[in-house]
Structure 1
Amino acid sequence: MWNPLGPARRTCEGLTRRDWLQVGSLACFGMSLPKLLAAESASSSKPGRVKSVILLFLFGGPSQLETWDMKPDAPEKIRGPFRPIPSRTPGLRICEHLPKMAAMSDQFSVIRTNTHRYNDHSGAGHYLQTGHVWHVPIGGGFSPTPKDWPSIGSVVEYLAQQRSLNRPMPDYFVLPNSLGQLQQAGQFPRPGEHAGWLGQRYNPLTTRIGKRSLTDNPYWRNCTDDELNFQIPGMTPRAELNGPRLQDRQSLLSAFDAMQQQVDDAKPHNLDIFRQRALSLITSAQTRSALDIRREPSQLRDRYGRHLFGQSCLMARRLVEAGVRFVTVHYDCVDGYSWDSHQNSADVKSHLLPTFDQAYSALITDLKDRGLLDETLVLATGEMGRTPQANANWGRNHWSTLFSNIWAGGGIPGGQLHGKSDKDAAYALEKPVSPEDLAATLYDALGIDPEIRVLNRENRPTNLIEGGTPLRSLWGSDSDRG
């Protein structure tokens, strides 16, 4: 029973008793609940630590034991075939196949105790990008659904659209393709990057890379400019389409075809918004310029690596430089495994670690050289880790109970090690970090109140995350809750 003298408590709809009293009193003065929620959303932003976030999503799950939490003193079946090398961070055991990162480890910090129980790629990918467990059971499917929780990037786009629809650039981009587009001929799009029940109008704007290299070049290395053409289908108008004729152009709407498959948002109002976004992008010289990677010097492109992940990281830098607030870069190979490293020597050693080492070190250095690193937070993470014990192929299987990720920029002091794992890199001993904590940290860094509420599909005010705590200690705060 409600205790009138007790503290405010959340109802099942997410409002406290005090909120409902406030709603009732405001209604007397002509302010309805929708108006109250709109006012709350508009005031949900505060000065953030950063202007932009780049999420390097290493789909499949890098092994903590082959990257940033090596256990060289463990038995051979656990420690693996790779060895640690010296770095600039005391106590950091970093893999020998990450030499560029070892030389600049004082520029990033490592969280060694990420953990959750969703040992499934699709569900874990949704969990990491939204801060919410997927509603589909483990192993229950691949594709995103309208019931999914909105991604962090979609919330950023949602708040931007509340302020203005007339922006030359969206606030949320996904590169180089939607996750899963390169795997199995795009038959299995993965959940997590979309807006879900928030509404398809807040989905990311996604570039599309062709598939010419799939047979002979599954890791997209030594690619040509034709293959690395980051464009949005239909965005570049033909010369004869100008003036009044441009207003009739609808081809860019094909870029939102996946969004429009959701029946709940196929309403005239939302379709008008799609058209408005499409036409504004077509006429935006800023967007076309940002997406033209050929404007970059050849030497810089070589530094990032002429492979899909390297050039995607360079494109992410171009987008945040142009004002985009949230950019997700998927490391999405087509070898059938990607970072799902069931074959260590073939996949991880020869391809994944070297290309990541090259692209990541180039990105952080480039952002720093341009004065963008302090205002840009770069998070590199997978959705899970790998089993402590290796399999017969010297690879590792799924293990969501412990994994590592790295944070750089945004004012975070480099060279930190957050948390401690056990002797086998199997479980967190100190300072476990949940996907909810990760989401709360990104929201907080962007100046978005992690307790913000928005209307769900049933028009109920809903907290975007439950129980997450911003990791302010990454910035040197005494308390994560302070």
Structure 2
Amino acid sequence: MLTVHGYPNRVCSGLTRREALQIGGAGLFGLSLPGVLAAEDAAATFSSARAKSVIFLYLFGGPSQLESFDMKPDASSSIRGPFIPIESRTPELRICEHLSRTAQISDKVCVIRTMTHPHNDHNASHYIQTGHKFTRSAADGGDVNARSTDWPSMGSVVEYLSRQAPAAHLRSIPDYIYLPNKLGALQGYERTGQHAGWLGSAYNAFATNIQKRNSADNPYFRDCVDQELDFRIKGMVTTEAITLDRLNQRNSLLKQFDQANRAFHEQQVYENFDRIQQRALSLVTSKKMRSAFDIRQESAVVRDRYGRHLFGQSALMGRRMVEAGARFVTVCWDAPDGYSWDSHRSSKHLQQHLLPGFDQTYSALIADLDERGLLEETLVVAVGEMGRTPKPNSAWGRGHWSHCFPCLLAGAGIQGGAVYGTSDDQAAYPLESPVSPEDLAKTIYWSLGINPDLFLKDQEDRPIPIIEGGQPLKQLFA
């Protein structure tokens, strides 16, 4: 638990400089102040943005295109799959019967059918989340854990650039948030692609930490109770075992942060810290941040609408994060059982949990954002790292297939009711308009008002493009 002791040399707010540094560097937000203070300036204004925020719904494991958004009812019985296609509000789109709610809001969604890349295993999570090919050779999916030499995730780049903006210290919530856990955490991994890599750990996501009940549990497949859906920042809500000495040793931590917040903003402490230090202290004393992470403030009706399973409640938290001002929020459907969307074995989980769970949450998120006036300023991306093989096993399980798979885009001016790209008659390869991870990454950056051809400096002070190759898909926007 965090303990911050007092020191005699105080600034005008009553906090010492060392206390402020300790608070900001205590790990509550994935911040490392030495790394933050060493950050290079970069040109990014976000002023020409189509999107103020991105919600990146990451379906880790690889959803099957043939059982979702690229069904092939005219294919042979050995290919087409066990589920029936239904009509949607998009004339060209017939989708799976287990996605009936999404079918009703498809007029707000653009379905890309032709995502493609050659990295045919789960370490493609690096490629999808960074826009850069995986830098290590692990064709069997091994060597899964992140390294400091990996490429930075899109969210980390956004976090980095946001901190260089002139008013960075005024932002009261992190700009890169990962829900409900770091990718792989429920399996004991720290998977590649989600972190800041060579950009520096100071720009890692702020990740919440929701545990499962036991080794066999899958909280994405069942309703979760409030006791396990506590997204709140533990250091800010605990009433014992954490002290901020000289603020008030006997008050609860919550009251201590309230006192720090009042002192920090009522006095001219900003004159004593540079903008990065100001931002760190602003975050840890932010009443807005504490409130945003408290899902209990949502009504039971809204929470039921999203689904009480882990993905549903995490997506609802994602909406709360962009509503509070975060720029890049990843909501991950992970594989705590080792499979989930990685449906090698059969289509049973697709029918019982995966498709219905996604359908409920995705349709609720799009509708909720729209009703709140947030959809036009929020780009919602839903994608996995790959698709599934056209040829199934006897139980309709399918293997890894990265050569053709779907991606959904909505909001931020995306033309809804559209389908982009055409696959062959087995949904195996693109016939027209292939889309690479580089294209997707540049589209996301461009939507946020970030120059997709921007260069950053690496740890050796060399200019590195944030994305090498690819083009933003501007034609998908109205």
What is residue 328 of structure 1 aligned with on the other side?
330
Q: Which runs of 5+ in 2 are unaligned?
A: 1-38, 254-273
SS class of match (1:110): strand
Aligned partner of 2:154 in structure 1 is 152
Q: Which residue of 2 aligns with 1:463?
A: 465
Query: How far apart are 1:343 and its partner, in Å?
Result: 3.0
2:185 corresponds to which of 173, 178, 181: 181
CA distance in 1 between counterparts of 2:476 and 2:355 reads 25
Please give the secondary structure, in 2, of the residue aligned with 1:244: coil
Aligned ranges for residues 234-253 of structure 1 at < 5 Å? 234-236=235-237, 238=239, 241=243, 244-245=246-247
Contact 2:55/2:329, CA 8 A, preserved across alignment: yes
Q: Is the 8 A contact 2:220 2:333 kept in 1?
A: no
Name the structure 2 match of 1:61: 62
Identify which of 464, 472, 476 aligns with 1:474.
476
Q: Matches of 2:247 and 2:294 in 1, distance apart? A: 25
Out of 419, 444, 449, the residue aligned to residue 447 of structure 1 is 449
Structure 2 SS opposite 1:404: strand
Matched residue SS, 1:378: strand
Distance between the aligned counterparts of 2:363 and 2:340, measured in 1? 20
Give the corresponding residue for 1:205.
Answer: 206
Q: Kindly provide the amino acid, as one letter, of the partner of residue 395 in structure 1.
A: G
The superposition leaves residues 357-381 of structure 1 with CA deviations (integer Å, 9 ceiling, x where unpaired) of 0000000000000000000000000
Which letter does structure 2 place at the counterpart of 1:236?
V
Q: How many angstroms does 1:442 deviate by?
A: 0.2
- Structure 1 residue 45: deviation in Å? 4.4
Deviates more, 1:41-50 or 1:113-122: 41-50
Q: Deviations over 1:157-177 (max 9, x none)?
A: 001111224532111100000
Q: TM-score with structure 2 length normalisation?
A: 0.82
Indicate if the aligned counterparts of 1:213 and 1:227 stay in contact, CA closer than 8 A: no
Q: Identify the range of structure 1 (452-461 vs 394-403) with the bigger mean alpha-carbon deviation.
A: 452-461
Instruction: Find the aligned partners of 1:45 and 1:294 in 2 and give their Cα distance.
Output: 32
Rate the CA distance shift 1:160–1:395 in 2: closer, same or farther, 3 A: same
Which residue in the other structure is 1:128 paired with? 128
* Within-5 A mapping of 1:101-116: 101-116=102-117
The one-letter code sitting in structure 2 at the alignment partner of 1:194 is H
Residues 217/436 of structure 1: CA separation in 2 closer, same or farther (3 Å cut) = closer
Structure-2 separation of matches of 1:176 and 1:380: 16
Q: Which residue in the other structure is 1:367 paired with?
A: 369
Secondary structure of 2:330's match?
strand
Q: Distance in 1 between matches of 2:411 and 2:245?
A: 43
| Residue identity matched to 1:131 | G
Q: 1:327-381 CA distances to partner (integer Å, 9 max, x unpaired)?
A: 0000013222021111333211101000000000000000000000000000000
RMSD: 2.4
Instruction: Give the conservation status (yes or no) of the 8 Å contact 2:99–2:355.
Output: yes
8 Å Cα contact 2:163-2:276 kept in structure 1: no
Deviation for aligned residue 1:278: 6.3
SS of the residue 2:78 aligns to: helix
Read off the aligned partner of 1:91 and give its amino acid letter: E
Q: CA deviation at 1:111?
A: 0.3
Q: For 1:395-449, what per-residue CA distance to the aligned partner results, in whole angstroms no more than 9, with x for missing partners?
A: 1000000001111111112110101000000000000000000000000000000
Task: Tell me the residue number matched to 1:305.
Answer: 307
User: Residues 86 and 102 of structure 1 are in contact (CA less than 8 Å); yes or no, is this contact kept in structure 2?
Assistant: yes
Deviates more, 1:98-107 or 1:156-165: 156-165
Once the two structures are superposed, the pairs formed by residues 346-425 of structure 1 within 5 Å of their partners are: 346-425=348-427
| Distance (whole Å) between structure 2 residues aligned to residue 181 and residue 405 of structure 1 | 24
Map of 1:31 onto structure 2: none
Q: 1:274 to 1:337 in 2, by over 3 A?
A: farther
Asked if 1:171 corresponds to 2:178, the answer is no
How far residue 232 of structure 1 moved from its aligned partner, in angstroms, is: 3.2
CA apart distance, 1:107: 1.3
Q: Counterpart in 2 of 1:436? A: 438
State how far apart, in whole Å, the 1-side matches of 2:245 and 2:285 are: 10
Distance, in Å, in 2 between the alignment partners of 1:375 and 1:338 is 31
CA distance in 2, matches of 1:72, 1:304: 30
In the alignment, residue 462 of structure 2 is paired with which amino acid?
R
Task: Go from structure 1 to structure 2 and tell me whether the alpha carbon gap of 1:424 and 1:182 turns closer, same or farther (over 3 Å shift).
Answer: same
CA–CA distance in structure 2, aligned partners of residues 189 and 43 of structure 1: 29
Q: What SS does the corresponding residue of 2:98 show, helix, strand or coil?
A: coil
**Residues 150 and 198 of structure 1 are in contact (CA less than 8 Å); yes or no, is this contact kept in structure 2?**
yes
Deviations 1:22-58 (A, max 9, x none): xxxxxxxxxxxxxxx967x225644111100000000
Three-state SS of the structure 2 residue aligned to 1:310 is helix
Structure 2 SS opposite 1:57: strand
Match of residue 265 from structure 1: none
- Number of aligned residue pairs: give it: 414
Distance change (3 Å), C-alpha of 1:43 and 1:325: closer
Equivalent pair of 1:119/1:400 in contact (CA under 8 Å): yes
Letter of the 2:63 partner, please give it: P
Q: How much does 1:457 deviate?
A: 2.2
**2:178 maps to amino acid:** V
In structure 1, distance between residues paired with 2:300 and 2:459: 48
State the alpha-carbon separation in 2 of the partners of residues 157 and 435 from structure 1.
Answer: 20
* In 1: Cα distance, 2:350 partner to 2:120 partner: 20
Instruction: In structure 1, list runs of 5 or more residues that go unmatched.
Output: 1-36, 252-271, 477-482
Deviation per CA, 1:98-125: give whole Å up to 9, x if none: 0101111111110001100011102x10
In the alignment, is the contact (CA less than 8 A) between 1:111 and 1:405 conserved in 2?
Answer: yes
**Percent of aligned positions that are identical:** 58
1:25 aligned partner: none
C-alpha offsets along residues 183-204 of structure 1, whole Å, 9 cap, x if unaligned? 2xxx222111110000100100
Equivalent-residue separation in structure 1 for 2:351 and 2:126 (angstroms): 27
Q: Distance in 2 between matches of 1:282 and 1:220?
A: 34
Structure 1's 435 and 278: CA in aligned 2 closer, same or farther, altered over 3 A? same
- For 1:27, the equivalent position in structure 2 comes to none
Compute the TM-score of the two structures, normalised by the length of structure 1. 0.81
SS class of match (1:366): helix
The verdict on how the C-alpha distance between 1:49 and 1:273 changes in structure 2, with shifts beyond 3 A counting, is closer
Say whether the 8 Å CA contact 1:218–1:335 is kept in structure 2.
no
Partner of 1:90: 91
1-structure distance, mates of 2:291, 2:438: 36
Q: Could you tell me how far apart the structure 2 residues matched to 1:274 and 1:309 are?
A: 33
CA distance in 2, matches of 1:143, 1:38: 27
2:116 alignment partner AA = T
TM superposition shift of 1:218: 4.8
- Mark the CA change 1:275 to 1:162 in structure 2 (over 3 Å): closer, same or farther: closer
Q: CA deviation at 1:216?
A: 4.8
User: What is residue 28 of structure 2 aligned with on the other side?
Assistant: none
Mapped to 2, the partners of 1:283 and 1:241 lie a distance apart of: 14
